Structure 1
Amino acid sequence: MRTFAIAMLLCLAPVLVNAAEPATPARKDGDPAVRQLLDKLEYKYEIDEEGDYRLTFGLGDDKDARSQLVYVRSPVETYGSHKVREIWSPGYVSTTDEFPADVANRLLEATQQSKLGAWAKQGRYAVFVVKVAADASAEELDDAVDAALRSADEIEQELTPGKDDF
């Protein structure tokens, strides 16, 4: 019996070591480190009820140009020695809790083509998520925000032609 218990512990050890830690709780007034970076980049933002930073970007010069919503999340996620922050941008909303198969497949294809970030399902929403080091520089955050908003807007245009909901 003792040999079995030791064998089970050895089998489970990689699982226990690789377990991600829960996110640090978000501050309702937003993470001050994020605020400092966004201010340095001269981005306009609001802080939502969860303490995340909500930014809206205009894409184009004319008054009918598209816009895109981006969230810079305040919580920091930890996995082993990695500490990351997420940047989200919605690109699609389903009419039901399930994505149609063709939409889900297109999002998987877009993830494969992406250089930075991936598509994720958040309820009825497809959001493009870029994960950066929690201590990312202003330039790295700027790149992540740009990747998120451009990827999300491209998919929104493709999957919902003529709409600009985000």
Structure 2
Amino acid sequence: MKILITGGNNAKALKLMKAFPSHFVSLADYGEVAAIATEKYAFTSLGVLNRDSIAHILLNFCITEGIDCIIPLHQYEVEPMAKSAVLFGEYGIQVLLPEASSIAGYLNHEPNTFQNFAVFVGGECVFASGKEIFVRTEEELNGVFGYNVADDELKLFTI
């Protein structure tokens, strides 16, 4: 599986790589990015940032690069990508975010200073950096969520 993580120039994106040890991860960002590629990951540019066409830029990149799953980390990408998840799904690309109708409840309007993060796919926690075991009842919970202790309210892990 090929996974795209945006915000590839940020340390948070690098932290996420350990959640996907058996997948190829493309760390991408807007503007200039050092073009580095290895067997397990690559750094690449998404081109010039245009906030009015985020979903279009990312869909085009995902189709061109054969991406199976996208994790948008930039705060300004979250809402447009959640609203476009159905379109991405038609191309076989999973957008790892909560449903657009509930996204506002997961946004943190203060700078993220989480010590840990957890990755949820289809309601199941597939990775927790703090080694906690999460049992959630929301069947559709998707995304990367930050937390300090397991009892914290989960908020999207964004930059």
Say whether the fold is shared (TM-score over 0.5): no
Structure that is richer in helix per residue: 1
Higher Rg of the two aligned structures:
1
Q: TM-score, normalised by structure 1?
A: 0.27
